[in-house]
Structure 1
Amino acid sequence: MNLAALLSVEFLGVALVFARIGGIVMFMPAFGESFVPVRHRLALALVLALALYPAVPQGPISLDAPGPLVGMIAIELTLGLWIGLTARILLSALEFAGSQIGLVSGLSNAFSPGLGSFQGSTLISTGLMLGGVAVIFATDLHHLIIAAMISSYQIFPPGQILPSDLAQQIVKAVSQSFYLGLSIVAPFYVMGLLVNLGMGLASRMMPSLPVFFVAAPVLIMAGLLVLVMATPVMLREFAERFGEWLGMMVF
């Protein structure tokens, strides 16, 4: 085999790895954030594909049969997108938790304080998601993400796909994300219940008390206080669940 033919088959092998890695990087938390330019994500995916190619069970591909090659590229891209989207669904638990915190603490009503065009609940959701991204880098979970890219070839061998299993795992990912969001926001439900119960008893004992104008500041301050105390635990719980999924990629 001459050098040109060797480079061609090796290039096609790298292209298949790039199809999976690129799909992962496009949506993977920390790597695929919207504030990261698309060109930078593509460049990172290319560098990772070149670096991981010797470590994955993906050999050189011949161009003799272009039909099967196109099918393999489509399968690898689908698997990469599935992995990235599943991880993104897990991260959305923090966004759901932020919206619930704003709802419980009164930051999502029309009279709540805002910053520019953003309501308080939107700011909390954005802050929690950015905190989750920061925790991924602070706890070296991005190294585990790269390791998961390699281990994905053991879970999903090249050229093989089971659409029914992928669909079932997506459904389980949504349920796990919803459960995670509810579990980390549970202290705020307790806080809201206690504060509203106290305001209700106060209004019964003093009917002339303007409950809304008194309860709103108390509820907001209590919500912010609980947020300060509970945020480290919330982010740690997300990091643990996210790391567990990266290690197995199943629920």
Structure 2
Amino acid sequence: MQLSDLVAAQIFGYFVVVARLGSALMFMPTFGETQYPVRARLSFALVLCAALYPITPVEAVIPDEITAIAILLGIEVTIGLWIGLAARVLLVAMQFAGFQVGQVSGLANAFGPSLGSFEGATLVSTLMLLGSVAALFATDAHHVILLGLLDSYAMFPPGQIIVGDLAEQIVRVGNHSLYIGTMIAAPFFVMGVVLNLGMGLANRMMPQLPVFFVASAILIAVGLFILAAALPPALDFFVRDFIDWFSDFSL
């Protein structure tokens, strides 16, 4: 084999790694956040793929036919997008929970507080999302993400894919994400039922009481108090669940 052929094969193998890991990093929590500049994310993905390329099982071999090359790269991109989107769907659980917290706590009504262009419920949702990303970094969960990306080659060898299994698993991830978001928001659902029931009874006993204005202030105050108490264990629960999901790539 000539030197030029060897170099070309190594470069092609690198592109195969970029096809999977780069596609996964586009949507991956912690690494693919839209707050990062696009150039910074792209540069980081290329450098990371170059660093991980030597320890991946990708062979430095160029298929003979153009069709085989296109199929190989297409499969790797599909697997990478599936990994990144599945992880993103899990992270969306915290955004869903934050939106539900804002709705139940009365932060979404017209008289609720706002900050700039963010109305109350959206603000809580965004803060919980950013807090989850920060918690993933603080607990070194991004190391687990990198290990999971490498272990994905053991579960999905290069050039092999089972589309039915990927579709089934993404549905399960969506179901589990809804479960996580509902569990985290459950205390606020209970709070909303109890407080609204109490204010309804108060209105029956005192019809002149401006229930809406009184209930809004009480809901917001109690909701923020419960949020301050429940947020640390909620973040801990999410991080543990996220790490367990990514650890499943290890066979």
Q: Distance in 1 between matches of 2:26 and 2:159?
A: 20
Q: Which amino acid aligns with 1:30?
A: T
**Secondary structure of 1:236's aligned partner:** helix
> 1:101 maps to which residue?
101
Q: Which amino acid aligns with 1:4?
A: S
Between the aligned residues of both structures, percent identity stands at 52
> 2:214 maps to which residue?
214
After TM superposition, list the pairs within 5 Å mapping 1:93-172 onto structure 2. 93-172=93-172
TM-score of the pair, normalised by structure 1: 0.97
> 1:91 maps to which residue?
91
Q: Which amino acid aligns with 1:246?
A: F
Q: Distance in 1 between matches of 2:208 and 2:8?
A: 83
Q: Distance in 2 between matches of 1:157 and 1:203?
A: 65
> 2:223 maps to which residue?
223
User: What is the CA distance between 1:64 and its match in structure 2?
Assistant: 3.0
Matched, 1:59 2:59: yes
8 A Cα contact 1:9 1:63, kept in partner = no
Q: Distance in 2 between matches of 1:213 and 1:15?
A: 60
| Structure 1, unpaired ranges of 5+ | none
8 A Cα contact 1:30 1:136, kept in partner = yes
Q: Distance in 2 between matches of 1:74 and 1:63?
A: 14
**Secondary structure of 1:218's aligned partner:** helix
User: What is the CA distance between 1:74 and its match in structure 2?
Assistant: 0.7
Write out per-residue CA displacement over residues 59-107 of structure 1, whole angstroms, 9 at most, x where no aligned residue: 1122532220111001001100110000000000011101100110001
Write out per-residue CA displacement over residues 124-154 of structure 1, whole angstroms, 9 at most, x where no aligned residue: 0000000010011000000000001100000
Q: Comparing 2-11 with 18-27, which one deviates more in the overlay?
A: 2-11
Q: Distance in 1 between matches of 2:3 and 2:36?
A: 37
> 1:14 maps to which residue?
14
TM-score of the pair, normalised by structure 2: 0.97
Q: Distance in 2 between matches of 1:78 and 1:122?
A: 32
Q: Which amino acid aligns with 2:126?
A: T
User: What is the CA distance between 1:47 and its match in structure 2?
Assistant: 1.4
Q: Which amino acid aligns with 1:26?
A: M
**Secondary structure of 1:60's aligned partner:** coil
| Structure 2, unpaired ranges of 5+ | none
Q: Comparing 193-202 with 128-137, which one deviates more in the overlay?
A: 193-202
**Secondary structure of 1:59's aligned partner:** coil
> 2:42 maps to which residue?
42
Q: Comparing 203-212 with 213-222, which one deviates more in the overlay?
A: 203-212
**Secondary structure of 1:153's aligned partner:** helix
Q: How many residues align structurally?
A: 250
Q: Distance in 2 between matches of 1:181 and 1:62?
A: 45
| Pairwise CA RMSD | 1.2
